[in-house]
Amino acid sequence: MAAKKSHIDQRILEANIDKNLIVLLTGNGKGKSSSALGMVCRSLGYNKKIAIVKFLKGLQETGEDAFLAQQPNIQTVFMKTGFTWDTQDKAYDTKMAIETWDAAKKFLSDDSIDLVVLDELTYMLNYRYLDEPAILDTLNNRPQTQHVIITGRAASKGLIDIADTVSDIKDTKHAFRANIKAQQGVDF
């Protein structure tokens, strides 16, 4: 244990670079958006300014939407359409995705914002609603002091490559498969 502690202490000493991060939360398991919100809470504790852009707004209002609306340090933008299997309208969804990305781009060029969350962004690239090179370029050229969190399943190689931290959340088990419906305060 002493050797292990000394190794860890040494690694902590070596990790002395301060850098704005891209954190990517992907995979099929539950916990991507809620992890992003955990980091939003951490940032709020230090009085940081936060922007949250939600692509693919779900049909269900979430508890966090109600909570975040009361926070003066948070600005939230919702994509005006929720992609659903019933109402696929590629042209309209693409237009809405581009509009939402335009809002995200404003945040990603505003150095007064400390943290930008791009919730469910991965789908916009996978469905080709948005152009990946342009997104990667904007992310690379954001203010030096700004952290970004991206969530969504099946993150593209481009996003994985530019991210500093990538967590691939594994779906070991989900209550839904045992016919348990989504639970208030846990799932929404």
Nearer to ligand ATP, 15 or 149 (CB): 149
Q: Is 31 in the site for ligand ATP (CB under 6 A)?
A: yes
167 Rama class: left (phi>0) / alpha (psi -120 to 50) / beta: beta
Q: 158 is in the binding site of which of ligand ATP, Mg ion, none (Cβ under 5 to 8 A by kind)? A: none
Among 33, 43, 81, 100, binds ligand ATP (CB under 6 A): 33
Among 26, 33, 62, 75, binds Mg ion (CB under 5 A): 33
Q: Which residue is nearest to Mg ion (CB)?
A: 33
Cβ proximity of 182 and 176 under 8 Å: yes
Biggest CA pair distance of the chain: 61
Among 7, 42, 128, 174, binds ligand ATP (CB under 6 A): 174
Contacts 24+ apart (CB under 8 A), 10-19: 19/164
Query: 176 CB contacts (<8 Å, ≥6 apart)?
Result: 182
> For the window 101-140, what string marks contact with ligand ATP as x by the rule CB under 6 A?
----------------------------------------
What is the nearest approach in angstroms of Mg ion to the Cβ of residue 44? 19
Please tell me the total number of residues recorded for the chain in this structure. 188
DSSP 123: H
Among 28, 88, 145, 184, binds ligand ATP (CB under 6 A): 28
Give the Cα separation of 37 and 43 in Å (integer).
Answer: 10
Q: 57 is in the binding site of which of Mg ion, ligand ATP, none (Cβ under 5 to 8 A by kind)? A: none
DSSP 72: T
User: What is the binding site for Mg ion (CB under 5 A)?
Assistant: 32-33
